[in-house]
Chain A
Amino acid sequence: MKIKEVLLLGILILIVVFLSSTIISQEQTEIYCAEKTTYGASCQNVPLNEVNTNYRYDRTSCESTSYCSEGTCINTLTGECLSGPQATCDTTQGGFFYAKPKDEVAQCKIGCCLLGDGAALVEQVRCDTLGADYNLNPIFRSDIQDEFECLAMASPEKEGACVFETEQGRNCRGITRGECQDSAGEFHEGFLCTAPELGTTCTRTKKTTCIEGKNEVYFIDSCGNAANIYDANKVNDVAYWSYLPGVEGVEVNVGDGEGNADSVVNGYCSYFQGSTCRRYDRRIDSNLPRFGDYICRDLNCKASDPLSGGQPREYGEEWCSEPIDNFENAKPGQLSYLLYCYDGEVQYELCDSYRNKLCKQNETSGYANCVINDWMSCIEQNSTKDCENNENCKVLTGASILRTAYGTGKLIKDSNTNNMVVGVCVPKYAPGFKFWDPEGTILSTSEETPTSICEFSSVACLVPYEQEVAFITTWRATPTTECIELCKTTETWSPSECYKACTPVCFKDTIEDKNADAKINQTWAESWQNLCVSLGDCGVSGNYFGKEGYNRWRDLFLGENIDWATLPNAEEKK
């Protein structure tokens, strides 16, 4: 007969709590759809105390109401179609509401709008409005739905010199044929006003200018007309000052073919290659143009820019504040930023205050973007393969978040061996919490426990030690009978498998005598520590600036009759 002496040696409770968090108690409140809230927002699902009762409201979600369900609001004055509810589509201001998605409303179907020498893919009403706003006759092509096809349709009007007889002589303006006809001038297609054969009062100059909507630097004549693109070698070239490019053999010199940034002689700038026309500024531009006051400004970012990371950045280059891999063991306050170089300046964008989005750089394409850190889906994964297929997750062995019906940690399927192992799929990049706010910041996952994300890594480990033969055999950790019985009814395992599954592993298997302190299983403790910190800003951690945290691991592991010297990282605060 077996002598059973169950000795409660230690109740080890691992309570890993987020240091300054409190828990929000989520009350079940009735939600109303408010046409207007007390704080002035339109169409929100809110509790009754936030409803502005001077407007319409109903005890239902806004999707179920007529006034706040999503539809399409057409601005009949501008022709724009925007998705939105009826409540905000004010008819007195020119709104017209359709209770249909935008793509089902005929007036909102887009097409190619040809306007002057430009083209854009817009709604038909918008095309008409743009025509009125810009004083042009628009042509709407509903059969063209592709943006590139539409842009290719844009046909610049023929330009040339428009000559007017005045008392002072033959005046001239460089405009389009249509504009010249409207002005009752004499049009000379392909000519510049400085062409000698036109005999105008306009003469060549050494001045240059920028033109709105264009990137290049242009010569200007004495009448203020833009001539051809600035080329210092052609400042006195009669043909270059007589004809537009493509006429009478006049050609534009593309210079270095890379945008001619800071070139003193060439004004053929290229925005997509990192240069554009700007007035010369000796504080910014490194070279003074040979003629005129304008230059192809270098739009690349200099290494001296405090956000460039100490290296020159090309125009349009994008990068992350730090590699995404750095967030595998993210610390409180560690945030990810997307940076980009535009117009000679580095701009930045915080991906998310709580690491729900992280900046990721594609090593091959060089593109960087803020991507969603889908860490919540990790916990649901049941096999190591499923876990590893999600790039935001990783497998952690030796600890488990979910519990079985008989109280042990739920196992995960090892896809390599097909065995069930103690483990869990956890976030690869730990999310961040609102650690600085003492009011409840960590959301409850449900009304049941656990009430905070960090509490997923809390575990109570009760270890009965038993001496099979009194005074002879050693004291050994044994499973409880209840656990084994429940295991046998739940799983299709043999008794020995259930015995193994129910045997606690948090302490060393044996103790020396009845009164000795139990020694912590180091692998087990480390696994739980890792699980804890991988769930977010939980457990023991210094902040991003290296300041140590408030607690030590020793403060978070509680229990009796335990040899605390065996707790790994016991005094660590970072």
Chain B
Amino acid sequence: MYKKEKRGQITIFIILAILIVVLVILFVFVIPKAKMTTTFNDKNPQAFIQTCLEDKIETTAETIALQGGSLAPEHYFTFNEIDIGYLCYTNENYKTCVIQKPLLKQNIESEIEDEIKEDVVNCFNALRESYERKNYDAQMEVGTTTIELLPKRIVVSFDYALTVSKGQTDRYDDFSVILNNNLYELIGITNSIVQWESTVGDADPRIYMTLYPDLRVDKNNRDDGTTIYVLTDKNTENKFQFASRSLVFPPGY
């Protein structure tokens, strides 16, 4: 009798354990997806667009920032298994570098725009379909996408208009995604470092860390004369890294 009771208890424990595991799996894998699909609110299409695109914009911006301002850098140095684009480069020794991207901010904005183009179309189509599933008559006017890197944020504006009607007609034409991101500030500091690299062949991280207490600047000198600068915002852990090769003294001169 006692043995049977004990066996029963073990069975209950096993069932409980299985239930817990199932709940954890549901929580980790299923619920986030469910969240993605339940954000549609027919009175707030803007929220749908924000949810649909913010992850893509964030990961794109992060990748670009880690690769020296390009998604697929053409000319790069591989450091910690990441291809980091050169923002200032000379192939010669004893010479200061040539700035490769003087219009870095615009370059990054257009890189983000190109990368999210397809997702933007997909998200707006998904939005229209969401209305149609709720028996709305939905008309979409496709427009352009504008990326703006601004202080502490990235603003993506869509010149799209959506007209939905079900009894009454509503027109939505103010779509945008705003992300907290300090790429703007990191680009400003990057330009300053690049300017130093191109004029005197070097930049001192200590100056920047003294001026900006929340900034960490790491400088990694490689044996071919390349310097990898890694800028980190200590509050957000956002990084921007780039390569430079300037005023190189070769081995044995």
Contact A94 B223 (CB under 8 A): no
Within 8 Å by CB of A443, from B86, B91, B251, lies B251
A541 to chain B, nearest CB (A): 15
Query: Which residues, 65 to 85 on A, are CB-close (under 8 Å) to B?
Result: 68, 70, 73, 75, 77-78, 80, 82-85
B89-116 CB mask vs A (1 if < 8 Å, else 0) is: 1111000001111110111001000000
Q: Which of B3-11, B39-47, B170-178, B210-218 lies at the interface with chain A?
A: B210-218
Tell me which residues across on chain B come within 8 A of A68, comparing CB atoms: 98
In the complex the two chains form, is B98's CB within 8 Å of A43's CB?
A: yes
State in angstroms the CA–CA spacing of A108 and B91 once bound together. Answer: 28
The interface residues of chain B lying within 8 Å CB-to-CB of A88 are 98-102
Query: B103 touching A83 by the CB < 8 A rule?
Result: no
Docked-complex contact A441 and B251, CB < 8 angstroms: yes
Chain B residues in 8 Å Cβ range of A350: 220-221
A80 and B98 contact, Cβ closer than 8 Å, known pairs A340-B206, A443-B253: no
Contacts of B11-56 to chain A: CB distance below 8 A: none
A354 CB contact (under 8 Å) in B191, B234, B250: B250
Complex Cα distance, B210 from A349, in Å, reads 16
6 closest Cβ contacts across the A-B interface? A40-B74, A40-B75, A356-B249, A353-B223, A84-B99, A73-B102
User: Does residue A229 face the partner (Cβ distance < 8 Å to B)?
Assistant: no
Q: Is B184 in the interface zone, CB < 8 Å from A?
A: yes
Can you list 27 A-B contacts with CB-CB less than 8 angstroms, sorted by A residue number?
A37-B91, A41-B100, A43-B98, A44-B89, A62-B98, A68-B98, A73-B102, A75-B102, A75-B105, A77-B105, A82-B99, A93-B107, A94-B103, A94-B106, A271-B213, A318-B206, A342-B206, A342-B216, A343-B213, A343-B234, A347-B218, A349-B205, A354-B250, A376-B253, A431-B251, A433-B251, A443-B251
Judge if B194 is at the interface, Cβ distance under 8 Å. Answer: yes
Residue A361, interface by CB 8 Å: no
Cβ A73 vs Cβ B103 within 8 A: yes
- Report the Cα distance A85→B88, complex, angstroms: 12
How many Å from the CB of A50 to the closest CB on chain B?
Answer: 8
B150 within 8 A of partner (CB): yes
List the B side residues contacting A41 at CB < 8 Å. 75, 86, 89, 91, 100
CA distance A349 to B228 in the complex (A): 11
Evaluate contact between A353 and B221: CB separation under 8 angstroms. yes
Residue in chain A with minimal CB distance to B247: A372
Question: How far does the alpha carbon of A476 sit from the alpha carbon of B124 in the complex, in Å?
Answer: 100
Partner of B194, one of A62, A82, A340, A442: A82
A82 to B221, CA, bound (A): 24
CB distance from B72 to the nearest CB of A (A): 10
Q: How far is the CA of A75 from the CA of B102 in the complex (A)?
A: 7
A42 B100 Cβ-Cβ under 8 A? yes
- Asked whether, in the complex, the Cβ of B251 is within 8 Å of the Cβ of A442, the reply is yes
Bound-state CA distance A376–B94 (Å) is: 13
Bound state CA distance, A77 and B191, in angstroms? 14
> In the complex, what distance in Å separates the CA atom of A443 from the CA atom of B253?
7
Docked CA distance A356–B234 (Å): 33
Answer yes or no: B252 CB below 8 A from chain A CBs.
Answer: yes
Residue of B nearest to A340 (CB): B206
Interchain CB contact under 8 A, B184 and A133: yes
Task: Given A44-B98, A84-B198, A271-B213, verify A356-B253 contact (CB < 8 Å).
Answer: yes
**Contact A354–B252 (Cβ < 8 Å):** yes
Asked whether, in the complex, the Cβ of A442 is within 8 Å of the Cβ of B91, the reply is no
A316 interface contact, C-beta 8 A = yes
Provide the bound-state CA to CA distance between A43 and B74, in Å. 14
Cα–Cα distance between A350 and B221 once the two chains are bound (Å): 6
Question: Which residue of A has the minimal Cβ distance to B209?
Answer: A342
Find residues 28-86 in chain A having any chain B CB closer than 8 Å to their own CB: 37, 39-46, 62, 68, 70, 73, 75, 77-78, 80, 82-85
Q: Report A-chain residues with C-beta under 8 Å of the C-beta of B86.
A: 41
Q: Is the CB of B250 within 8 A of A42?
A: no
Q: When each residue 415-430 of chain A gets 1 if its CB lies under 8 Å from chain B and 0 otherwise, what string results?
A: 0000000000000000
Among B148-189, those with CB < 8 Å from A are 150-151, 184
| A93 adjacent to B106 (CB under 8 Å) | yes
B218, closest chain A residue (CB): A347
Known: A44-B89, A82-B194, A442-B252. A349 touches B219 (CB 8 A): yes
B105 touches A78 (CB 8 A): yes
B199: CB under 8 A from chain A?
yes
- Report Cα–Cα, A276/B215, bound state, in Å: 13
Contact status A443-B252, CB under 8 Å: yes
- The residue in chain A whose Cβ has the minimal distance to the Cβ of B99 is A84
Q: Which chain A positions have C-beta within 8 A of B117?
A: none
Q: How far is the CA of A475 from the CA of B50 in the complex (A)?
A: 99
In this complex, the member of B92, B191, B209, B253 whose beta carbon has the largest number of chain A beta carbons within 10 angstroms is B253
Residue of A nearest to B95 (CB): A45
Q: Which residues of A contact B101 (CB under 8 A)?
A: 88
A40: chain B residues within 8 A (beta carbon): 73-75
Q: Which of chain B's residues has its CB closest to A370's CB?
A: B202
- The reply to whether A89 and B251 form a contact with Cβ atoms under 8 Å apart is no
Q: A267 contacts which chain B residues (CB < 8 A)?
A: none
Flag if A95 contacts B252 (CB, 8 Å): no
Given A276-B213, A352-B249, A347 and B205 touching (CB < 8 A)?
Answer: yes
Q: How far is the CB of B36 from chain A (nearest CB, A)?
A: 31
Cβ contact of B110, chosen from A93, A442, A536, cutoff 8 A:
A93
- A134 CB–B CB distance under 8 Å: yes
Which residue, B101, B198, B234, has most C-beta atoms of chain A within 10 A? B101
- Which residues in B have their C-beta under 8 angstroms from that of A44? 89-92, 98
Contact string, B218-246, partner A, CB cutoff 8 A, digits 1/0?
11111100000000001100000000000
Asked if A464 is at the interface of the complex by the 8 Å CB criterion, the answer is no
Do B151 and A133 have beta carbons less than 8 Å apart? yes
Chain A: which residue is nearest B253 at the CB level? A376
Q: Is A292 an interface residue (CB 8 A)?
A: no
In contact, B221 and A349 (Cβ under 8 angstroms):
yes
Q: Mark A91-122, 1 if CB is under 8 A from B, else 0.
A: 00111000000000000000000000000000
A431 touches B252 (CB 8 A): yes
Is A552 an interface residue, CB under 8 A from the partner?
A: no
A276 CA to B98 CA in the complex, in Å?
38
Contact of A90 with B by CB under 8 A: yes
Chain B residues whose CB sits within 8 angstroms of the CB of A80 once the complex forms? 102, 191
- Residues of A within 8 Å of B184, CB to CB, are 133
Which of A75, A352, A431, A441 meets B103, CB within 8 Å? A75
- Closest beta carbon of chain A to B199's beta carbon, Å: 7
B130 within 8 A of A: no
B198 touches which one: A78, A83, A343 (CB < 8 A)? A83
